[in-house]
Amino acid sequence: MLNQIIEIVKKAGEIYRSAGDDLGICEKSSSVDLVTKYDKKIQDFLYTELKKVLPDAQLFGEEGDGNKELTDGYCFIIDPIDGTTNFIKGFQHSAISVGLAKDKELIIGVVLDPDLNNLYYAEKGKGAFLNGKPIHVSDCNIEKSLVLFGTCPYEHELAHKTFKLTEDVFYKAIEVRRGGSAALDICYIAAGKADLYYELIIRPWDWAGATLILHEAGGICTQVNGDELSLNKITSYVCGNEKNLKEFYEIYNAQ
């Protein structure tokens, strides 16, 4: 099944790369919450093709038309383009993300960076891979960490809190980055390209696919206060390794 999903996600990457000048940009909840016709096109393609792999599976994607929440059985959790603003601007840092859950537990994760053609994937219990090579999280403490963070552009109060927290993190870590794709941020932690990532509000489709990859790469993730995550809830998110997460919780609790 993993290979079938990988092939489908690779084809979705071709749709992403076929985008011309007319992206068909529309506003959703506000002028900074954007969607393009490619988000919808890729989601429709994934829904149709993934349904052929598992006809009974539910479909739970960012751009609607599927299930509104997870129930038992199989469920695909899909972000057709994670990093829509980057896609619109040609910033070339976005992801196509598919997670498969069974009875609300992630069993497969596939995340494609279609600009660099980097494919991250994992199957429960079988390790995590980037383009066929095994990946692992780093073991850096915060002092040696490159830290990634996200901020939802239309949640200003939380953005303010995030920037305050990030100032404190910045002085303790090597450096901080805001890339604009939560799925890629988490995959970068899984691959040891960066060491810690957090965001104060995130939706399940942003993290589902990448989180199985992170787990299989030896990483840990929780809400920022240390509570467990749930695929049915909008929550905060932090991931890293045992050492830098412990130090992150201390910084967060001192806010």
Annotated binding-site residue? 242 = no
- How far, in Å, CA of 136 to CA of 214, rounded? 8
- How far, in Å, CA of 84 to CA of 226, rounded? 29
- How far, in Å, CA of 138 to CA of 182, rounded? 18
The footprint of ligand IPD (CB under 6 A) covers 62, 79, 82-84, 150-152, 180-182, 199, 202, 206
Rg of the chain's alpha carbons, rounded to an integer? 17
Annotated binding-site residue? 62 = yes
Q: For ligand IPD, give the closer residue by CB, 111 or 152.
A: 152
Span from 67-75, 104-112, 202-210, 215-223 in contact with Ca ion (CB under 5 A): 202-210
Side chain identity, residue 193? K
Contacts of 22 (CB under 8 A, 6+ apart): none
Annotated binding-site residue? 82 = yes
Phi, psi of 55 (to 5 degrees): -60, -25
206 binds Ca ion (CB under 5 A): yes
Picking from 46, 22, 179, the residue whose alpha carbon sits closest to that of residue 115 is 179
Q: Which residue is nearest to Ca ion (CB)?
A: 82
62 binds Ca ion (CB under 5 A): yes
- The Cα-based distances of 195 to 122, 163, 186 in angstroms read 19, 19, 9
- The Cα-based distances of 165 to 9, 176, 184, 251 in angstroms read 35, 11, 21, 8
- Interacting partner of 128 out of Ca ion, ligand IPD, none (Cβ under 5 to 8 A depending on kind): none
Catalytic residue flag (residue 79): yes
Catalytic residue flag (residue 103): no
Annotated binding-site residue? 14 = no
Catalytic residue flag (residue 84): yes
| Residue of 36, 84, 222, 235 with catalytic role | 84
Catalytic residue flag (residue 81): yes
Annotated binding-site residue? 21 = no
| Residue of 39, 62, 63, 195 with catalytic role | 62
- How far, in Å, CA of 238 to CA of 229, rounded? 10
79 binds Ca ion (CB under 5 A): yes
Catalytic residue flag (residue 39): no
- Interacting partner of 152 out of Ca ion, ligand IPD, none (Cβ under 5 to 8 A depending on kind): ligand IPD
Q: Which residue is nearest to ligand IPD (CB)?
A: 150
Q: Is 201 exposed, middle or buried (0-12, 13-18, 19+ CB in 10 A)?
A: middle
Catalytic residue flag (residue 62): yes
Q: For Ca ion, give the closer residue by CB, 61 or 219.
A: 61
Q: For ligand IPD, give the closer residue by CB, 113 or 206.
A: 206
Q: For Ca ion, give the closer residue by CB, 82 or 247.
A: 82
Category of 115 on φ-ψ map: left (φ > 0), alpha (ψ -120 to 50) or beta: alpha
Active-site residue numbers? 62, 79, 81-82, 84, 206
Q: Which residues contribute to the annotated binding site for Mg(2+)?
A: 62, 79, 81-82, 206
Q: Which residues contribute to the annotated binding site?
A: 62, 79, 81-82, 206
